[in-house]
A and B are shown apart, each in its own frame.
Chain A
């Protein structure tokens, strides 16, 4: 009791800071649920008097938002699935195996971790144009498999696993592939969970790359679609906030379901905000 009372000011400061950070989200949902006449009211109403789903009805009727959400799930989902496979394979090789050139390869990979993605944007655009993948899903997905954060994460984790099980499996006649699938993968589940959450979140939110690669609005992921809504609805903030709300909800649900993996992901090097 006394400790709570003593710390009350600290809790109040932290809660105030947290609510300030969350306020834009609150304002987003509130605006999306407000009838049109309240959206442009002076002064605006911070506590709602009347809520409606009419903006949502209008959004689903007049925009391909559902299509955009499905596109995003497919793009982010496929990228995540491939990262889980490829990054754990490479992470295992870099962590546990010896082979000529290993250090050079790993050093090359890690040295590009701080290169801003926009540096490679134009050359990658040219490459995709050359092989005819502009304005296609593979064109958005394949370059997404080249980022190396996950390799680094998996290597760091697999390094901490004991090697005895691997050796025992080999003595029992397991092939190298079986060592990876039956020993390494099951033991790596915690790291794979972090990687899955992080990768999915990152590609759910990707913007500039799909914006540049895709032309056909039917192929847009939701972030690019949202940006085009601005051109269409300009200052119809009720509609714009509703679009943003629909794009926000899935990620918020994922966050509440897998919170601790997000927090763990930051600690292993995924700070982005």
Chain B
């Protein structure tokens, strides 16, 4: 807008307009300055520093460049391998469950009236406004090893013996995973149901002419058309799951018996802030970063192939 009016009156007001344009640019930079400065100092530079630190032997005081030694140490460290494996297993199970639950619940909500839809969206989102700490504290209470624990009482109803749950190295991770799976992912429900509201009606009408049943339409029309939302949620939920920390920190006191529930972020936290091995912990952070970027790239590529199709 500015440019077109400027060109029209260029000859007469060249100097004035130039001055105005410069002033406007200065204002533009002033508008972005606070955010951008904070972003550079507390996000951009730290990301670069994380990479630099991962190549150093940084401890509480000082550190030397040691190349990829930290990554070699990690590759040989059974605790880190356990953390990596636990994080991936947790993420795979939890994300698969979350996507399935969100899709099924959103599909059930879809045919209902607007007031019911609003009610259910709120119902499924309410549990999620609470902090991970608080929720993990309840699950620690539910899955505690005592016979008066709620999970054990539940087993008792079916005549099963009580389990040790978070008190056992075999069952602790399962308890942590169960605690995450047993919560309906309200964010996914909201996104899926928003996406379902805008699917083209014609396909469904055509399918009805062909005599397709509700389940056939759902599986062959709804689910494929929701692919962009599915991919988006897959990435968001996977990256969130990679960051699992509070649940483990609270439910299993930061790793459980024999590190049964140790995760990458839990190990970053203890390696850096309990043992002062900042370089090694930064190498773990770089691994986490690469995992997150890899997931985001996969999404980007499948979305691109979608456009071609």
Binding site for B on A (CB under 8 A): 7, 10-11, 13-14, 17-18, 20-22, 24-25, 27-28, 31, 39-44, 85-87, 89-90, 92-94, 97-100, 102, 105, 108-109, 112, 114-127, 142-143, 145-148, 151, 163, 167, 176-177, 180, 201, 204-205, 207-208, 211-212, 223, 226-227, 230, 235, 237, 240-241, 243-244, 247-248, 251-252, 254-255, 259, 262-263, 266-267, 270-273
Selected from A14, A163, A205, A271, the residue in CB contact (under 8 A) with B233 is A271
Q: Contact: B137 with A21, CB < 8 Å?
A: no
In the complex, B132 has a CB within 8 A of chain A: yes
Q: Contact: B187 with A109, CB < 8 Å?
A: no
- Bound-state CA distance A170–B61 (Å) is 56
* B3 surroundings in chain A (CB, below 8 A): 98
The residues in B between 2 and 20 inclusive whose CB is less than 8 angstroms from any CB of A are 2-3
Given contacts A99-B25, A100-B25, A247-B134, contact A235 B187 (CB under 8 A): no
In the complex, B186 has a CB within 8 A of chain A: yes
In the complex, B173 has a CB within 8 A of chain A: no
- Bound-state CA distance A21–B36 (Å) is 39
Q: Contact: B268 with A121, CB < 8 Å?
A: yes
Say what secondary structure dominates the interface of chain B.
helix
Most chain A CB inside 10 Å of its own CB: which residue of B32, B194, B236: B32
Selected from B35, B133, B150, the residue in CB contact (under 8 A) with A86 is B35
In the complex, B218 has a CB within 8 A of chain A: no
- B 182-209 binary contact with A (CB < 8 Å = 1; else 0): 1111111011001000000000000000
- Bound-state CA distance A21–B33 (Å) is 43
Nearest to B156 among chain A residues (CB) is: A43
Identify 15 new A-B residue pairs, CB closer than 8 A, beyond the known A14-B123, A177-B27. A10-B111, A11-B112, A42-B147, A98-B28, A109-B35, A118-B243, A148-B35, A151-B35, A176-B27, A208-B246, A212-B273, A241-B141, A243-B137, A255-B129, A263-B125
Given contacts A14-B109, A21-B127, contact A90 B148 (CB under 8 A): no
Q: Contact: B184 with A21, CB < 8 Å?
A: yes
In the complex, B68 has a CB within 8 A of chain A: no
Total number of residue pairs linking A and B with CB closer than 8 Å: 287
* B246 surroundings in chain A (CB, below 8 A): 207-208
Ordered by A's residue number, 16 sampled pairs between the chains whose C-beta atoms are within 8 Å are A13-B108, A14-B108, A21-B184, A86-B35, A99-B25, A114-B293, A114-B296, A120-B46, A120-B47, A123-B45, A127-B41, A201-B129, A252-B129, A259-B122, A270-B187, A273-B183
Chain A proximity of B112: nearest CB distance (Å): 7
Most chain B CB inside 10 Å of its own CB: which residue of A7, A43, A122: A122
In the complex, B278 has a CB within 8 A of chain A: yes
Q: Contact: A114 with B235, CB < 8 Å?
A: yes
- Bound-state CA distance A247–B131 (Å) is 9
Selected from A13, A123, A226, the residue in CB contact (under 8 A) with B53 is A123
Most chain A CB inside 10 Å of its own CB: which residue of B46, B140, B153: B46
Chain B proximity of A247: nearest CB distance (Å): 6
- Bound-state CA distance A79–B140 (Å) is 31
Q: Contact: B36 with A105, CB < 8 Å?
A: yes
In the complex, B174 has a CB within 8 A of chain A: no
Q: Contact: B243 with A116, CB < 8 Å?
A: yes
Q: Contact: A226 with B134, CB < 8 Å?
A: yes
Chain B proximity of A155: nearest CB distance (Å): 11
The 9 tightest CB contacts between A and B, nearest first, are: A123-B46, A146-B42, A205-B131, A120-B46, A123-B49, A271-B187, A99-B28, A93-B31, A176-B27
